[in-house]
Amino acid sequence: MPPVTLPKLNLPSFDGPLDLLLHLIREHKVDIADIPIVQVTDQYLAYLASMEEMNLVLAGEFFLMAATLLEIKTRMMLPKPPADSDGEDDEGVDPRLELIERLREYERYKAQVEVFLAMEDERRRMFFRTAMDSDPRYEIPPVFGEGSSNALIAALRKLLAEVDTGEQAVTSVRRQKMSLQIAMRTLLHRVRESGEAWFDELFERPLVRMNIVMTFLGLLELLRQGLLHALQDEPLGPIRIVSVDLEGGAAS
């Protein structure tokens, strides 16, 4: 057999001897089960020689694989001994089988690594917005036009803050009997009479804390029963209380 002329190697770095072997096999475009052991061994040794010329320190596993390839190459070049009388031919077993199985396993492992690397590259191109401090008044918007419970609470707090802040201090207040049922009847009559009313208009002046609380509780109960409806035309805007027509819905 004439000597094989090998091209000048210009190979990238490899993770190990199996990685280099797999590259050489793919370069020959042959099946792993039919490794051209002579050519692969020669190219493998040429690769090691080129690495030594560049004064690179090679791991011992590369030299161990070189010895394994040389052993397989030698066994394949020797003539096969005749089979024994029992028909068993242990020497006739292909010496490449163990190496082939290792290469197949490594090829499966490498395929999975390439999938993970592609996923990592795709993830690297994704950017996530970090958490931002939001306005403490911000809330998840309700259905367009409808007031939220937080908006009602904010309006109530504003009224309570106005208690005893008028220009003239209130020295006496006529005591009136105020109950939840009375507050509900008064609110419902006032809103139905005009069709709608602003939230602030539902509370009689001068503002008294007990009356504010009782009126607010009556409003909540009427909203719960569906007799009144709270609307807010814009975020943080004033709240409208409208009467609900049992047949046609809330007044617009």
Model confidence pLDDT, tens digit, residues 10-44: 445 677 788 888 888 888 777 777 788 888 888 88
> What confidence score (pLDDT) does residue 182 get?
87
Q: Does 26 share its domain with 115?
A: yes
> What confidence score (pLDDT) does residue 248 get?
46
Residue located via tokens 């917005």: 129
Q: Does 157 share its domain with 225?
A: yes
Q: Give domain status of residue 159, yes or no.
A: yes
| DSSP code of residue 91 | G
> What confidence score (pLDDT) does residue 213 get?
86
Q: Which two tokens stand for residue 147?
A: 């007031």
Q: How many CB atoms lie within 10 A of CB 197?
A: 19
Q: Is 2 left (phi over 0), alpha (psi -120 to 50) or beta?
A: beta
Tell me which H or E stretch contains 120: helix 97-124
Measured CA to CA, the distance from residue 25 to residue 39 in angstroms comes to 10
> What confidence score (pLDDT) does residue 177 get?
65
Q: Give domain status of residue 67, yes or no.
A: yes
Q: Does 102 share its domain with 34?
A: yes
Q: Give domain status of residue 238, yes or no.
A: yes
Q: Give domain status of residue 84, yes or no.
A: no
Rounded to 10 degrees, what is the CA torsion of 213, 215, 218, 224?
A: -80
Domain assignment of residue 97, given as a range: 17-79+93-123
End-to-end alpha carbon distance in the chain: 99
pTM of the model: 0.38
User: What is the number of domains present in the chain?
Assistant: 2
Q: How many CB atoms lie within 10 A of CB 122?
A: 9
Q: pLDDT below 50 — which residues of the chain? A: 1-11, 167, 246-248, 252
Q: Does 106 share its domain with 154?
A: no
> What confidence score (pLDDT) does residue 138 get?
58
DSSP 3-state of 228: strand
